[in-house]
Amino acid sequence: MKILKYNSIILLVITILSCKNEVKRIDSNNELNSSTQSNESVAIKNKKFAYVVFILESPRLEHSEPTYMDVPTPSGGSNYKKIDGYDIVVWDKKAFTTGIVEIEDYNEDEKFKLLDKAEYEYKQIHYPLIDATYESNVLSKVRDFQIKEEFRKHRTKIISRDVYAYDSYAEASKSKNKYQ
């Protein structure tokens, strides 16, 4: 009977210990799940909707042809006086915006990747068109060779670039409409 009692006690202790171990396993699974959930909430927290705004300066040629003006003389006649034309470069500022993109883990690196990618794409597509129009006007309208060569050096340039990031697409869209 004593052996049976000791076996019962040992069996009871083993059962209790195994139950404690099971509870610990369940707790560790809960910790793992809550850790995973908190990581997911951090990822969702860093999710942003962003777009890039460039402020550009683009050259534009202002050109006028020489004209003649009829100037009356004291004797009652008239003389034609030549008024020289002019060629000047005017720098126009323009804003350019990209489309809105969704960024899962928005941080400083992602911001600069977005800026660099947008700038590269803009320079590949838009710069040649803007600058070709300007250069065409310079070549066809400016008569003085030295001025023509000096003006041909001017190119469109980005004077500022910014990323605007928002927590929702709606906020980003409303903000972006200010630039259009």
User: What is the DSSP annotation of 65-105?
Assistant: --EEEEEE-TTS-EEEEEE--EEEEEEEEEEEE---EEESS
| Burial group, residue 9, by CB count within 10 angstroms (0-12, 13-18, 19+) | exposed
Question: CB within 8 A of 101, min separation 6: which ones?
Answer: 49, 50, 51, 114
For the chain, which residues make up each domain, given as ranges? 1-42, 46-179
What pLDDT score was predicted for residue 57?
93
CB atoms within 10 A of CB 176: 19
Please state, in angstroms and rounded to a whole number, the distance separating the CA atoms of residues 21 and 119.
58
Tell me: the pLDDT tens digits for 124-161? 888 788 889 899 999 999 988 999 999 999 999 999 99
Tell me: the pLDDT tens digits for 47-70? 999 999 999 999 999 988 888 777
Please state, in angstroms and rounded to a whole number, the distance separating the CA atoms of residues 87 and 146.
12
Q: Which three-class secondary structure state does DSSP give residue 23?
A: helix
pLDDT-based confidence at residue 21 (cuts at 50, 70, 90): very low
**Best CA proximity match to 154, nearest among 64, 65, 56, 52:** 56
What pLDDT score was predicted for residue 83?
78
Instruction: Characterise 179 by phi-psi region: left (phi > 0), alpha (psi -120 to 50), beta (else).
Output: alpha
Q: Which three-class secondary structure state does DSSP give residue 166?
A: strand
pLDDT-based confidence at residue 36 (cuts at 50, 70, 90): very low
Where do we find the tokens 């990323």? Answer: 163
DSSP H or E stretch at residue 42: helix 2-45
Tell me: the pLDDT tens digits for 89-136? 999 998 889 999 999 999 999 999 999 999 998 888 887 888 898 999
Question: CB within 8 A of 139, min separation 6: which ones?
Answer: 148, 152
pLDDT at 84 over 90: no
Average pLDDT value for the chain: 79
DSSP H or E stretch at residue 139: helix 108-141
